[in-house]
Amino acid sequence: MHLDAKIPDGPIQEKWDRHRFEMRLVNPANKRRFEVLVIGSGLAGGAAAASLAELGYHVKCFCYQDSARRAHSIAAQGGINAAKNYQNDGDSVWRLFYDTVKGGDYRSREANVYRLAQVSVNIIDQCVAQGVPFAREYGGLLANRSFGGAQVSRTFYARGQTGQQLLLGTYQALSRQIATGQVEMFPRTEMLDVVVSDGRARGIITRDMVTGEIRPWSADAVVLATGGYSNVFFLSTNAKGCNATAIWRAHRRGALFANPCYTQIHPTCIPQHGDYQSKLTLMSESLRNDGRIWVPKDPSESRAATAIPADERDYYLERRYPAFGNLVPRDIASRAAKAVCDEGLGVGHGGRGVYLDFADAIERLGKPAIASKYGNLFEKYERITGENPYEVPMRIYPAPHYTMGGLWVDYNLMTTVEGLYATGEANFSDHGANRLGASALMQGLADGYFVLPYTIGDFLSRHMGEEPLPTDSEPFRAVTAEVDERLQRLLSINGKRTVDSLHRELGQICWEHCGMSRNAGGLRSAIDSIRELRDEYWTNLKVIGSGDELNQSLEKAGRVADYFELAELMCYDALLREESAGTHFREEHRTGEGEALRNDEEFAYVAAWQSTQPGKEPILHREDLDFPNVPLTQRSYK
Amino acid sequence: MRLELRIWRQPRRDADGDFATYHVDASPDMSFLEMLDVLNETLTEAGDDPVAFEHDCREGICGSCSLMINGRAHGPEPGTATCQLHMRKFRDGDVIRIEPWRSAAFPVLKDLVVDRSDFDKIIQAGGYISINTGSAPDANLIPVPKRSADLAMDAAECIGCGACVAQCPNGAAQLFTAAKVSHLALLPQGQAERDQRVLRMVAEMERAFGSCTNYGECEVVCPKGISIEFIARMNRDYLKASLRAGSGRPKGSG
Ligand SMILES: Cc1cc2nc3c(=O)[nH]c(=O)nc-3n(C[C@H](O)[C@H](O)[C@H](O)COP(=O)(O)OP(=O)(O)OC[C@H]3O[C@@H](n4cnc5c(N)ncnc54)[C@H](O)[C@@H]3O)c2cc1C
Ligand code: FES
């Protein structure tokens, strides 16, 4: 299969404008003849559904929560980047583009990233016009902060709830279209498969999560905006319902899956404190602006943190990275925390934690200043841990947070299945091997508001006058039967173990061998263990109840079944990639000082995987990447 | 710690429900929902139907979780959604009664899961600013006084969980509606549709929910501390809008 990314010709600054001009338009009277299914109501899906409806297409939008407003985007805290240069500190579209390509460790597609930086400015305009209450200065203009180690202040924010406010903006735009009937919204409806015939997406199969009804939906195009797959690790910062089912089923039906091993582990999360733990909570990255990270120098240290004198503490980030100190990028901060804990220096439950200490900042700036910056976060920390960070240092540890990998898409955001699109965290396109802080919200909204609504028109215009496949046609009946059969299988195993217990074990395998650091032996053994455990899953699982009722165990069982397959692919991808790039750290490939070592000669490509039968090796396709605009360098934060 | 749980069980929307009693061993570090996870694991292993309850983010922001705990929406800790409540707020031997949101507008779907879709309908009635994608002016064109922006944000923090309705003896949705009306009315961008927005949203609210008689319990249980002052603000807006619309006496919106 030849992977054609369909990148427009011309200088990078002109590609998107040129493409927009060259794409065909659908005339307004014809738009209403087209129906588009949008799966997902997060920033990527909600924005696409609302914008497509405004243009006149008929849209059906689906989500698994009880309301579109609860999509996982709601949980994003820190902010959204845009190259507005309102602070006049030297930012520009070019700089945002450059930072994002470099931050992604040169494993993303330049043309996509440039477009992202370009439309970032429109996003902020759009959101403000919708009534998103971004933080403001006393003069009434928008406030910005620097985030995730960026050297310019380009991050827009709404207290610690930026994702919430952006999503409510999107939800409101969507609600307006629902009121006019242009969008039909189907909450509590889970997509369980996609129908592909003659290489083209024809529709989807869903399950009504209240009645259990299985239903086919036919349309002219299908958009998957279903978010990321960090929950493959069981414990992550993602919402409990986040799942890979939609993209995984699409993969099984022919869509290539790109770079599955690029998973971001966020350095500042509250450490695990028990075996019953159900999720990990992110503490905003902004804490690293004032907090100092350290561990005791002595592995047998038993004193309370505050009783350990300064010269017996190792401020390891400041020591190893004097230029960036506590503000090194996420992947580096995470690996360094793991390294000191592996040496036995970690603190708290199981020795898996490091201190994030505000004592110096409180002394320097005063408690009120710290409270005004981080008060909410401190309260949240105390609520969860019972400890007061004004008095004792926080304990933090890295946790799975975001997945850069996802369905392979071309410049138009179309997967390798015609008429099937993937947007937001569900695709692989813009962040390479490492995502920078405040860039996921930007990408979700860029895809949803400003890219997909145009590119999909070009596709539809080429299929004018074609009728969607009827839902009682053979392809729909076949996939419906498979979906039914699969649910029945899950319900009838009647073994001994719960979904959660098996998912937890799968998560441990992935975390151990395909988490913050990886090696060939570990990955091979992980593939074997995953297969074994998957066999156990399908023979010893216990799901109570039936398919025709609200059944949360059955919902979970289907999602975890897909994670079992995805986990294996993730390990294959990590095994293949004999280099360290961004979040993907192969122990065999590091510099003399232990830092990540890329291999641009052999690995400057996107690994796009084709599905085979489960248990068989997937087939690799490569999209070579080149970097005519951002010269390749080794990242250094020393 | 060992706890006795009395949990509302109801198989379907139209079925009868009742309390069932369970015992569970919990640790003080667990969240309330993790305690229920532990119960559900035990029930499943024993072949019993696990308790259905709504949850997603478990970070107090998505508004999914929705439990009445000992008669109080989201339980005993102020400013805290159920998912952020931890077991250290309880004591060994406690008896805990767990119910779904109780309100005519929120029918039970199963056990502790209710249907809150009438909230979405209130937003659909006008809780937005009509602006099509791509037609916005530069974001800094209209300065917004910091005070207004901050106050708008105070209102916009609502997570739409429905605790306000669940706790209200009348099942009124004033706090939820007022939060959105105020958020948009406080911003210059929200002015063009201000009258029509409040009139339509209040009409939809009154169609589905009870009327407000100023009990004020909504504010007490709101996990985001949304102030009841926003209700007064909405009522003023509603009055002005009704007068301007020449619709005679405003309808009783509290
Ligand atoms: C705690 C946290 C904090 C974050 N903070 C930031 C930040 O400060 N800045 C930043 O840029 N990024 C941040 N991120 C990342 C960012 O929030 C996400 O990457 C982004 O919001 C994803 O948006 P999305 O629209 O692609 O997917 P989501 O918001 O996850 O939406 C997925 C949608 O798909 C639906 N769905 C999923 N599966 C199915 C199915 N099978 N059937 C039907 N519907 C389905 C869901 O119901 C939902 O509506 C953060 C992430 C987390 C976890
Ligand atoms: S689960 Fe999201 S607010 Fe409680």
Tens digits of residue pLDDT in A505-515: 999 999 999 99
Tens digits of residue pLDDT in A414-459: 999 999 999 999 999 899 999 999 999 999 999 999 999 999 999 9
Q: Residue B83 domain-assigned? A: yes
- B161 Cα nearest atom in ligand 2: 3
| Residue whose CA is at the smallest distance from ligand 2 atom 3 | B60
Rounded to an integer, the average pLDDT of A267-285 is 93
pLDDT confidence of residue B151: 98
B223 lines ligand 2 (CB under 6 A): no
pLDDT confidence of residue A636: 76
pLDDT confidence of residue B247: 59
Question: Which ligand is closest to the CA of A243, given by its number?
Answer: 1
3-state secondary structure of A266: strand
CB contact under 8 A, A383 and B88: no
| Ligand 1 center from residue A281 Cα (angstroms) | 15
Alpha helices in A520-580 (DSSP H): 520-540, 552-576
Sheet with strand A58-62: strands edge to edge: A183-186, A58-62, A35-39, A221-224, A420-422
**Could you give the CA distance from residue B167 to residue A283 in angstroms, rounded to a whole number?**
31
Domain that holds residue B70: 2-110
Q: Is the pLDDT of residue B254 over 70?
A: no
- Please choose, from the candidates A411, A408, A409, the residue with its C-alpha nearest in 3D space to the C-alpha of residue A10: A411
B55 lines ligand 2 (CB under 6 A): yes
Measured CA angle at B14 (ends B13, B15), to 5 deg: 100
- Please choose, from the candidates B8, B15, B3, the residue with its C-alpha nearest in 3D space to the C-alpha of residue B42: B3
β-pairing verdict for A406-407 and A214-218: unpaired
CA B231 from chain centre, in angstroms, equals 15
Same-domain pairing of B123 and B96: no
Is the distance from CB of A285 to CB of A356 less than 8 angstroms? Answer: no
Tens digits of residue pLDDT in B119-132: 999 999 999 999 99
Is the distance from CB of A119 to CB of A636 less than 8 angstroms? Answer: no
Confidence label for A373 from pLDDT (cuts 50, 70 and 90): confident
Same-domain pairing of B138 and B75: no
**Could you give the CA distance from residue A575 to residue A586 in angstroms, rounded to a whole number?**
9
Same-domain pairing of B158 and B54: no
Rounded to an integer, the average pLDDT of B131-153 is 97
Domain end: B110, B129, B154, which one?
B110
Which backbone phi and psi does A167 adopt, to 5 degrees? -70, -40
From A308's Cα to the closest Cα of chain B, the distance in A is 26
How many interface pairs between A and B have CB atoms less than 8 angstroms apart? 223
Residue type for position A253: R
Q: Residue B85 domain-assigned? A: yes
Same-domain pairing of B132 and B25: no
Same-domain pairing of B180 and B211: yes
Same-domain pairing of B134 and B74: no
DSSP assignment letter at A348: S
**Could you give the CA distance from residue A71 to residue A171 in angstroms, rounded to a whole number?**
10
Question: Which ligand is closest to the CA of B84, given by its number?
Answer: 2
Q: Which residues of A are catalytic?
A: 330
CB contact under 8 A, B140 and A86: yes
Q: Is the pLDDT of residue B250 over 60?
A: no
Question: Which ligand is closest to the CA of A78, given by its number?
Answer: 1
Confidence label for A149 from pLDDT (cuts 50, 70 and 90): confident
Domain end: B110, B140, B167, which one?
B110
Q: Residue B33 domain-assigned? A: yes
β-pairing verdict for A263-269 and A80-81: unpaired
Alpha helices in A223-366 (DSSP H): 245-252, 316-320, 330-342, 359-365
| Ligand 1 center from residue B158 Cα (angstroms) | 19
| Ligand 2 center from residue A45 Cα (angstroms) | 21
Rounded to an integer, the average pLDDT of A131-149 is 93
| Residue whose CA is at the smallest distance from ligand 1 atom 44 | A63
Domains of chain A: 266-401 (3.90.700.10), 474-602 (1.20.58.100)
Q: Residue B103 domain-assigned? A: yes
For residue B95, the domain's CATH number is 3.10.20.30
B60 lines ligand 2 (CB under 6 A): yes
Q: Which residue is associated with the tokens 């029509």?
A: B196
Residue type for position A491: L
Rounded to an integer, the average pLDDT of B132-137 is 96
Q: Residue B250 domain-assigned? A: no
β-pairing verdict for B72-73 and B68-69: antiparallel
For residue B140, the domain's CATH number is 1.10.1060.10
From A612's Cα to the closest Cα of chain B, the distance in A is 32
Confidence label for A68 from pLDDT (cuts 50, 70 and 90): very high
pLDDT confidence of residue B82: 98
CB contact under 8 A, A125 and B139: yes
Domain end: B82, B110, B138, which one?
B110
Same-domain pairing of B136 and B223: yes
pLDDT confidence of residue A150: 83
Residue numbers in A near B61 (CB within 8 A): 74-75, 161, 163-164
Q: Name every residue whose Cβ is closer than 8 Å to that of residue A584 and which is 6 or more positions away in sequence.
A: A261, A262, A433, A518, A574, A577
Tens digits of residue pLDDT in A525-578: 999 999 999 999 999 999 999 999 999 999 999 999 999 999 999 999 999 999
Domain count, chain B: 2
From A548's Cα to the closest Cα of chain B, the distance in A is 11
- Please choose, from the candidates A420, A44, A74, A480, the residue with its C-alpha nearest in 3D space to the C-alpha of residue A247: A420
CA A512 vs CA A236, A268, A341, A518: distances in Å: 14, 19, 14, 8
Q: Is the pLDDT of residue A239 over 80?
A: yes
CA A132 from chain centre, in angstroms, equals 23
**What is the pLDDT of chain A when averaged over all its residues?**
96
Q: Residue B94 domain-assigned? A: yes
- A79 Cα nearest atom in ligand 1: 8
Sheet with strand A263-269: strands edge to edge: A263-269, A394-403, A354-357, A292-296, A313-314
Q: Residue B127 domain-assigned? A: yes
| Ligand 1 center from residue A112 Cα (angstroms) | 20
Q: Is the pLDDT of residue A367 over 60?
A: yes
A625 lines ligand 1 (CB under 6 A): no
Tens digits of residue pLDDT in B60-87: 999 999 999 999 999 999 999 999 999 9
**Could you give the CA distance from residue B142 to residue B157 in angstroms, rounded to a whole number?**
22
Percent of chain A whose pLDDT exceeds 70? 100
Same-domain pairing of B130 and B235: yes
Residue type for position A148: G
Q: Is the pLDDT of residue B248 over 70?
A: no
Same-domain pairing of B43 and B97: yes
pLDDT confidence of residue B130: 98
Confidence label for A490 from pLDDT (cuts 50, 70 and 90): very high
Q: Residue B70 domain-assigned? A: yes
Confidence label for A480 from pLDDT (cuts 50, 70 and 90): very high
From A67's Cα to the closest Cα of chain B, the distance in A is 7
Same-domain pairing of B19 and B53: yes
| Ligand 1 center from residue A40 Cα (angstroms) | 9
Same-domain pairing of B198 and B87: no
Tens digits of residue pLDDT in B167-214: 999 999 999 999 999 999 999 999 999 999 999 999 999 999 999 999
Residue numbers in A near B150 (CB within 8 A): 133, 136
Same-domain pairing of B32 and B130: no
pLDDT confidence of residue A146: 86
**Could you give the CA distance from residue A68 to residue B7 in angstroms, rounded to a whole number?**
28
Tens digits of residue pLDDT in A574-629: 999 999 999 999 999 999 888 899 999 999 999 999 999 777 889 999 999 999 99
CB contact under 8 A, A276 and B128: no
Torsional class of B62: left (φ above 0), alpha (ψ -120 to 50), beta (otherwise): alpha
Which backbone phi and psi does A363 adopt, to 5 degrees? -65, -40
Rounded to an integer, the average pLDDT of A627-636 is 89
Q: Is the pLDDT of residue A460 over 50?
A: yes
**ipTM for the whole complex:** 0.96
